[in-house]
Chain A
Amino acid sequence: SFFGLVSQGAEIDIVLDGQESRKTAELKLEDGRKERLPLYYDGETVSGKVNILVKKSGTKLEHQGIKIEFVGQIDLYFDRGNRHEFVSMVRELARPGILTQGVCYGFEFVNVEKPYESYSGANVRLRYYLRVTVVKRLSDLVKEQDICVHTLAQYPDLNSSIKMEVGIEDCLHIEFEYNKSKYHLKDVIVGKIFFLLVRIKIRHMEVQIIRRELAGSGPAALNESETLAKFEIMDGAPVRGESIPIRLFLSGYDLTPSMRDVNKKFSVKYYLNLVLVDEEERRYFKQQEITLFRRAEKRRRPIANSYIEQAIFHHRTAQFGQQQQPTTRAQQQQSQATPPLTTPEDAAAAAISPGRHGDANNSAADSPELESGSTHVSPALPAARSAPGIKDVLGEDDDDNY
């Protein structure tokens, strides 16, 4: 429909209120280009003006009415004909008539609900846009303007660490700990890998961030994995008893919040993949889902080197046996007070199917009281060590197909 725009002799321009001062965010387009778009949040009013310019003065533009829509829509790339609009609001700008000169209409979508975050992935896109339509007898004049939406989340009430002992019988036993299970997008992942048994010659170890996108549903669903970060955390072969620090700043990577079953159309999950490579290039890995969320921008502390403190603070929390954020201490104590919730068998089952972790996490976010039933909290360290039965099996893979 764009093609008739110029020949029709009119130009439509959408100007959002406060556009100059509004923050923008980068969003990948379908063709891979990136575009900076004005940024909106859920419940925020979207208002502005629509300018329609008649190209040649004196020309008449007859129309059947002018409207502006606010649309939230999910596109599945493999199913072009099928667009799912989960938000659609219309404002009438003008009754049918004839335009002879430029005209300007104001519009306002008050406190409009924007339940999901803008997303542009491998097989699916979630976008919000304004669409101005000048209805004509033959072909409408249409103008679209995308906006970007970020969904903000509160710091989760409970954010326990991920701690697990995994290994291959009589070959490699490690215990890893990530300081949290939920990270905001500017967060730092701090953790440690503790080597309990090493009988292979490891050459190095890295942490990867993997995004797994599930688009569609049923048998037609498409699953796409993408490794967004490869971060070497160890060089050389450790011996038993070594503990290797992890500190991974997330803000350097192109991440989105985790998304779960968005409008029953798609999900985006994030995994931390710990990969050990031995001298024969064999790879041992363990994936662990983490939840990413977008935190409301905090005002920056004025101290120049606050980020050092932040980094080191995170680092300190990586000590085993210490708990994380002071703000969550109450919850931590609460969960610690709960009687041991995992028998070794439970823990093993939990570890083998990481998906269940995700389920537990999400439901925990909704209803904190379920947290106590989550297998997410690792059993106490000594118990884990003394019970070889709970060893999780590390994935093993000869190819580097990540």
Chain B
Amino acid sequence: LFWQTRSQDMSGPVTEDQEKLLDEALSVVKLQAFQMKRCLDKAKLMDALKHASNMLGELRTSLLSPKSYYELYMLITDEMRHLELYLLDEFQKGRRVQDLYELVQYAGNIIPRLYLLITVGVVYIKCSEISRKDILKDLVEMCRGVQHPLRGLFLRNYLLQCTKNVLPDCVEEEQEDSGSVSDSIDFVLLNFSEMNKLWVRMQHQGHTRERDRREQERRELKLLVGTNLVRLSQLDTIDVQRYRSVVLPAVLEQVVNCKDALSQDYVMECIIQVFPDEYHLATLQDFLQACAELNPAVPVKNILISLINRLSAFATRDGSNGIPSDIPLFDFFSEQIAKIIENKPDLSPEDLVSLQAALTGLALGVYKDREDYVDKVLETTNSGLDKLGRLDSPTKKSVSAYLLQNMLNNGTLVPSSEQVEQLLDLVRCLVADPGADAAAAAAAATATNSLGGDPGDGSANGAGPDSEADNEDLAEEQSLLGRVVHLFSTGPDLLDEQFGVLKTARRILATGGGRRVKYTLPPVVYQAYQLAIRFHNRQDSDDKWRKKCRKIFEFCHSTVCGLAKCELPNLALRLFVDGALVVDKIPFDQHDTVAYEFLSQAFSLYEEEISDSKRMTCFAAENHEPLRSQTVHAASKLLRKPDQSRAVAACAHLFWSGRPRELQGAEMRDLKKVGECLKRAGRLASQCMDAGLQAQLYTELVNYYLYFVLQSAGSNLDVSQLSSTAGQLLAKIREILSGLEPSADSEHIHKHFEATVEFARSQSASGDATIAGLLAQLEL
């Protein structure tokens, strides 16, 4: 009888066989259950028990997967209800079956024996509570005989299910004999720790290559373990005191000692979910202490975040009294999280930061009036991240980026200079990395080179894409930092302080070098512009607003100048121009002077770098005329002749499409000046030594001429002068081109020229007679 265990026990469950095996087992169960019930109908209890035992014997199998085993278990336990009901009925009629508790223990196999024992034991309890305490203790102890994880888990689950409504739930003084809630607690706790052990042991059975499958199977079974905690939470007499002194310590001890990540993760989460929030509040320290001792593989942050979120929700729920004032919730979490960080040197930076972020959430949600809590979080995070000094730079960066992203998501304001300083110190790997500048530059160079390379070669030539990615990363990080700058806010009233904050921010951010300040300083400048506007709006309450505005613009000026020096002329130019617009709107003393200074700075930049005169069209001030002249002047002072030529040609646009205030938005179309510019450009081009370059410049000039001729069509402007000059240029180009030696460059110029001529032809062929006439002069 005993040795009938099947020889293929070791083969393990094979998926395709599962259905067949399960079907076989189920049909045996159905047959035995039928016979059991028939015997019960005839009041043949002994025979019924024999069939019940045969039925339960099916649960001895090692062949079924947890899922199939569960199905089998469900059917069998369902059938066992019949036996239980019959026995209950008999007992209530007063027909006691003597020695039944002993009788079922003669079953030779332990699985059927214990299932029967549980069934009978519970019937005894339901009929008379006298032995309840002893029977419960006996049952849970006897179950130790099943050490097979799957079978043990289900057996103990059966125990838990059967005893669901019979656990003593009263305090000690009331019921001495039939047991009290302490007995129930002991019972469930023992069952819990045994089940957890079995569950953990499951992981270590069988071949290592099936590790993932086992983990999956274990996940499917986790509810069996969690039911213990649910049962505890259903005992009404477990008050906070008892929970704190008995229940929780035992659960935590088991969880911490089992050292199994899956178990710890699940049970901790389970504790949070099944017990009331008030209990969590009362036991925070213990719980958090346990968190600090968990397996490093456990995502502690999830557990803590879950708890924090629950408590935050609890505190803000309708009808809730909030967090009792005697529980320094924030301090608990703050300290414990710090401890966790200390005890877990290998805590990943991501975890660390997300913990702190959750804490920030708590501070913001529950303690709206305590901004210092946020400071504290940042401080802890800072010191935590200090320990991360050994981290490689990508990790550091991602940590910092995470932190910033979180601030953005939560709209965390940074309200003082000191905090700005702290924050920026914390994320200093984003603010600047002095040591890595050279490397970055080299990487950038590589990136540039590789752009011309074969894109398909990317995987082989690893440096290229990586560096490119680096650049993208940099842009992303710095944009993030830039966005955070907008969070540097002291609030609506503390304008002076706000200025201080901005000054601090600039001081620190300026150390980032050209690649960074491009992203980070503009927000500072715009913040400053905004601040100036706010000062202006509040001019009634602050006598010194004029002076302060001036200071702000001085600050902006120097900042933008700094940007300009970092070879960011476009940016600086835009900032100056926008600055000038702001200045224009704020009538403080000498604001026109300041605006002039801003614009003249813009022109200086323009002189140096920028030839696209269209940028200038937005200028609108009384200083317009001198600025334009200045521009032309500046253009002609460029160092290289070709640049001069191009710049001066571009300046022609200034006099054509400029919209000074006097003309109320109309273009000025100063044909004389345009002609002068273009002539001057032609002269400059003629001074070029390189014939090819000369041809190139001439070709470009012809394009300018064509542009203006075409633009003036329909107006009463006389552009014949322009046409004839263009015609002369074309002749010159043809002459030069004929003398050029064939090369890639010359071919390019040829093409450009041909395209230009072709364009002119197409224009003359189509439409307007005037234009056609004019273009005819080009001697096409």
Distance between Cα atoms of A229 and B1 in the complex (Å) = 11
Distance between Cα atoms of A311 and B103 in the complex (Å) = 11
* CB interface residues, B 120-142, toward A, < 8 Å: 124, 128, 130-131, 134-135, 137-138, 141-142
* CB interface residues, A 228-261, toward B, < 8 Å: 229-239, 242-245, 247, 249, 252
Which residues of the partner chain B approach A252 to less than 8 Å between Cβ atoms? 106
Q: What is the distance, in angstroms, from B205's C-beta to the closest C-beta of chain A?
A: 8
Known: A236-B152, A249-B105. A308 touches B147 (CB 8 A): no
Distance between Cα atoms of A206 and B145 in the complex (Å) = 10
The residue in chain A whose Cβ has the minimal distance to the Cβ of B3 is: A400
**Contact across chains for B110 and A305 when beta carbons are under 8 A apart:** no
Which residues of the partner chain B approach A231 to less than 8 Å between Cβ atoms? 108
**Contact across chains for B138 and A238 when beta carbons are under 8 A apart:** no
Instruction: Decide if B144 is an interface residue (CB 8 Å cutoff).
Output: yes
Which residues of the partner chain A approach B106 to less than 8 Å between Cβ atoms? 249, 252
Contact with B along A253-275 (1 / 0, CB 8 A): 00000000000000000000000
**Contact across chains for B110 and A232 when beta carbons are under 8 A apart:** yes
Q: What is the distance, in angstroms, from B289's C-beta to the closest C-beta of chain A?
A: 25
Which residues of the partner chain B approach A245 to less than 8 Å between Cβ atoms? 141-142, 144-145
Contact of A308 among B60, B109, B124, B197 (CB under 8 A): B124
Interface size class, chain A: 20 to 34
**Contact across chains for B147 and A235 when beta carbons are under 8 A apart:** yes
**Contact across chains for B60 and A315 when beta carbons are under 8 A apart:** no
Interface size class, chain B: 35 or more
Distance between Cα atoms of A128 and B205 in the complex (Å) = 59
**Contact across chains for B108 and A236 when beta carbons are under 8 A apart:** no
**Contact across chains for B138 and A312 when beta carbons are under 8 A apart:** yes
Contact with B along A288-313 (1 / 0, CB 8 A): 00000000000000001101110110
**Contact across chains for B138 and A311 when beta carbons are under 8 A apart:** yes
Distance between Cα atoms of A304 and B95 in the complex (Å) = 11
Instruction: Decide if B96 is an interface residue (CB 8 Å cutoff).
Output: yes
**Contact across chains for B135 and A235 when beta carbons are under 8 A apart:** no
Q: Which of A204, A236, A245 has the most CB of B within 10 A?
A: A236
Instruction: Decide if A359 is an interface residue (CB 8 Å cutoff).
Output: no
Instruction: Decide if A203 is an interface residue (CB 8 Å cutoff).
Output: yes
Known: A231-B108, A233-B110, A234-B110. A244 touches B144 (CB 8 A): yes
Instruction: Decide if B174 is an interface residue (CB 8 Å cutoff).
Output: no
Which residues of the partner chain B approach A230 to less than 8 Å between Cβ atoms? 1-2, 108
Instruction: Decide if A396 is an interface residue (CB 8 Å cutoff).
Output: no
Known: A249-B106, A304-B96, A305-B101. A242 touches B2 (CB 8 A): no
The B interface is mostly helix, strand or loop, or mixed, namely: helix
Instruction: Decide if A279 is an interface residue (CB 8 Å cutoff).
Output: yes
Which residues of the partner chain A approach B447 to less than 8 Å between Cβ atoms? none
Which residues of the partner chain A approach B1 to less than 8 Å between Cβ atoms? 230
Known: A247-B142, A252-B106, A312-B138. A235 touches B151 (CB 8 A): yes
Known: A203-B5, A236-B152. A308 touches B135 (CB 8 A): yes
The residue in chain B whose Cβ has the minimal distance to the Cβ of A318 is: B141
Distance between Cα atoms of A309 and B128 in the complex (Å) = 13
**Contact across chains for A308 and B131 when beta carbons are under 8 A apart:** yes
Contact of B146 among A236, A307, A400 (CB under 8 A): A236
Instruction: Decide if B201 is an interface residue (CB 8 Å cutoff).
Output: yes
Which residues of the partner chain A approach B138 to less than 8 Å between Cβ atoms? 311-312, 315
* CB interface residues, A 303-336, toward B, < 8 Å: 304-305, 307-309, 311-312, 315
Distance between Cα atoms of A249 and B107 in the complex (Å) = 11
Q: What is the distance, in angstroms, from A312's C-beta to the closest C-beta of chain B?
A: 5
**Contact across chains for A247 and B135 when beta carbons are under 8 A apart:** no
Contact of B102 among A232, A238, A307 (CB under 8 A): A307
The residue in chain A whose Cβ has the minimal distance to the Cβ of B96 is: A304
Q: What is the distance, in angstroms, from A297's C-beta to the closest C-beta of chain B?
A: 16
Known: A232-B108, A279-B10. A307 touches B144 (CB 8 A): no
Instruction: Decide if B547 is an interface residue (CB 8 Å cutoff).
Output: no
Instruction: Decide if B242 is an interface residue (CB 8 Å cutoff).
Output: no
Contact with A along B1-42 (1 / 0, CB 8 A): 111010001100000000000000000000000000000000
Q: Please provide the 6 A-B residue pairs with the shortest distance between their CB atoms, ordered closest to farther.
A: A236-B148, A236-B147, A252-B106, A238-B147, A232-B110, A230-B2
Beyond A235-B60, A235-B110, A308-B124, 7 extra complex contacts between A and B, CB < 8 Å = A203-B9, A247-B105, A304-B96, A305-B128, A307-B99, A312-B135, A312-B137
Binding site for A on B (CB under 8 A): 1-3, 5, 9-10, 60, 96, 98-99, 101-102, 105-106, 108-111, 113, 124, 128, 130-131, 134-135, 137-138, 141-142, 144-149, 151-152, 197, 201, 205
List, sorted by A's number, 5 A–B pairs whose CB atoms are closer than 8 Å.
A231-B108, A242-B144, A245-B141, A304-B96, A308-B102
